[in-house]
Structure 1
């Protein structure tokens, strides 16, 4: 059988993962002799020791890089390079780690208040959300500044 340079029959795909969840890259490569596979992150050689929690495997032409619980520090450009005596091929994809989000929700709504002109009024609300919402009060379209 003649030599065949590596080719990716299934290239890497971009991954968007929620912080704390699992993420993985998978590529299928062919070539003869069987290519050696190396992984890179942002252009630097990657090993399981270099990026804690990363698991790397290569079997039957299937290259897999798995991260069981991603953090923002895992975000970046990942590449897998397959090399044999006939040549090399590279496939690249991005990992974007996003934080959990939740829309603002009122736990305690604003109550109608009647006060005498010139008196102080205290406006209270309780709001939850991820990230923590910024609360602003308005009267007739103009923002009320706290005093």
Structure 2
């Protein structure tokens, strides 16, 4: 209150607050003067002072305002799932995670941190959406194991794990081009050949009249 009507100014830590009319604004309701700060930031913590000034003098009031950081421990909203694929195929293991501040993601295979090589093992990340993935190309039996993703920030951590199994690509032996009966004269040289497929590569044995 005061006559004439006082001029009102707001300060934080001794610095005049710039009223932009958007995020930071003021409101007057009769003799009540209100400072409004939307989406307050941690660095807006401090000593706030309001000063009222007119020709008759001045008065002020102060208070300390603490803006706490909005924190949230990591939580996997989409977890790893067990996968089985065949040798030579590729697969993607993906997760979605929330947390404030944005969590750091680390990947592990059988308890050991996984180091991507950019060729066989590729990591992808979109922290803004909390999406993280690992792609395994041309999978081998050695890629089988337990894969884990760990999310860490300063207020906590979360982990998800799943089995990844690479099945041996098996194919029974097949003779696609077989032996051909032939007659030769004594003392001549002959060749008998076949074409065989199979996975893994078949062992071929030769027999004559049932004897190897």
Answer whether TM exceeds 0.5 for this pair. yes
Cα deviation 1:52-88 (Å, max 9, x = unaligned) = 6100122121110001211111111110000011100
* Equivalent residue for 1:19, pick from 68, 87, 99: 87
Q: Which position in structure 1 is the counterpart of 2:110?
A: 42
* Equivalent residue for 2:155, pick from 86, 94, 114: 86
2: CA distance, partners of 1:55 / 1:146 = 53
Q: How big is the shift at 1:104?
A: 6.0
Unaligned runs of 5+ in 1: 109-125, 135-144
Unaligned runs of 5+ in 2: 1-68, 178-194, 204-209
**Match runs of 1:51-90 below 5 Å:** 53-59=120-126, 60-90=129-159
1: CA distance, partners of 2:199 / 2:136 = 24
1: CA distance, partners of 2:130 / 2:72 = 14
Please provide the CA RMSD for this pair: 3.1
Number of residue-to-residue matches in the alignment: 127
The TM-score normalised by the length of structure 2 is: 0.50
Contact 2:119 2:137 in 1 (8 A): no
Greater C-alpha Rg: 2
1: CA distance, partners of 2:200 / 2:140 = 16
Task: Tell which has more relative contact order, 1 or 2 (C-alpha 8 A, sep 6+).
Answer: 1
